[in-house]
């Protein structure tokens, strides 16, 4: 489980495609002594298992394998050497829950249909960016105004919903410490619905 609070930016340094899966080697600033083989790390949304690691404190790498289901539902298949990704290590009991409960089980990809810059003069405290996104087919019913979504592993609050398009507003800090600073219209991001919304919908269907 995760919270959607990004703790580091990783960079893909190697990609090896194999039959129906691909192995990715990711460089990051984590301390390798604190990451065990078999640990779970959210990599721009998908929860992936560490299968190898190396390097020194502040300059490490770890390897993960992405299987067919992950490649089909996420943007992992488009990653290449140099791709920057949001990283979050799994939640420990007693950790601060700063975002919302995120499972790392991506439902599909949302498309950014517009990015609008909001100037410091307009906000009174810093440059922000509004993103309008189209939810994956059949998943817009899980998106609610003032609810939560996870986009590329980031816990974000929904500002508005209109049909299958919803918006989020990213503050300067989020733009700086995640990959969203470079995101533009046309990009596709990993989308995970809120866990409570998922189960609430399932209970309604069961009735």
Could you tell me the two tokens for 202? Answer: 């399932």
Query: Which CATH number fits the domain 108-206, given the four candidates 2.40.30.20, 2.30.31.70, 3.40.50.2300, 3.40.630.10?
Result: 2.40.30.20
Active site residue ranges: 2, 40, 47, 49, 67, 105, 157
Q: What's the whole-number average pLDDT of the chain? A: 91
pLDDT of residue 14: 96
For 109-128, what is the mean pLDDT? Answer: 82
Could you tell me the two tokens for 16? Answer: 């090896």
What percent of the chain is modeled with pLDDT above 70? 97
pLDDT of residue 122: 64
pLDDT digits (tens, 9 = 90+) for 3-41: 999 999 999 999 999 888 999 999 999 999 999 999 999
Could you tell me the two tokens for 8? Answer: 């580091």
pLDDT of residue 123: 61
Structural element, H or E, at residue 207: none
- We find that the CATH architecture of domain 8-89 is Beta Barrel (2.40)
CB 50 within 8 A of CB 41: yes
CA neighbours closer than 13 Å in the CB half-sphere of residue 68? 2
Report domain extents, the chain: 8-89, 108-206
CB 205 within 8 A of CB 197: no
What percent of the chain is modeled with pLDDT above 90? 75
Instruction: Tell me the whole-structure pTM to 2 decimals.
Output: 0.91
Q: Which one is predicted more confidently, 188 or 123?
A: 188
For 123-139, what is the mean pLDDT? Answer: 86
CB 14 within 8 A of CB 100: no
Integer distance in angstroms from the first to the last C-alpha of the chain?
28
Instruction: Classify the phi-psi angles of 163: left when phi > 0, otherwise alpha if psi is within -120 to 50, otherwise beta.
Output: left
């Amino acid at each position: 489980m995760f919270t959607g609070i990004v703790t580091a930016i990783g960079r893909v340094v190697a990609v090896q495609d194999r039959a129906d899966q691909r192995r990715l080697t990711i460089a990051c600033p984590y301390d390798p002594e604190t990451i065990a083989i078999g640990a779970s790390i959210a990599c721009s949304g998908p929860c992936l298992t560490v299968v190898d690691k190396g390097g020194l404190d502040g300059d490490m790498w770890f390897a993960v394998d992405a299987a067919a289901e992950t490649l089909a539902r996420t943007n992992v298949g488009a990653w290449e050497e140099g791709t920057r990704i949001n990283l979050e290590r799994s939640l420990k009991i007693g950790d601060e829950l700063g975002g919302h409960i995120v499972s790392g089980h991506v439902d599909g990809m949302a498309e950014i249909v517009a990015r609008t810059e909001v100037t410091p003069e307009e906000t009174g405290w810093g440059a922000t960016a509004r993103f309008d996104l189209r939810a994956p087919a059949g998943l817009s019913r899980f998106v609610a105004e003032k609810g939560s979504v996870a986009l590329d592993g980031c816990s974000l609050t929904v500002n508005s919903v209109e049909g299958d398009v919803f918006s989020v507003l990213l503050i300067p800090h989020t733009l700086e410490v995640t990959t969203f600073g470079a995101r533009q219209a046309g990009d596709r991001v990993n989308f995970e619905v809120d866990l409570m919304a998922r189960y609430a919908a399932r209970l309604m269907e069961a009735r």
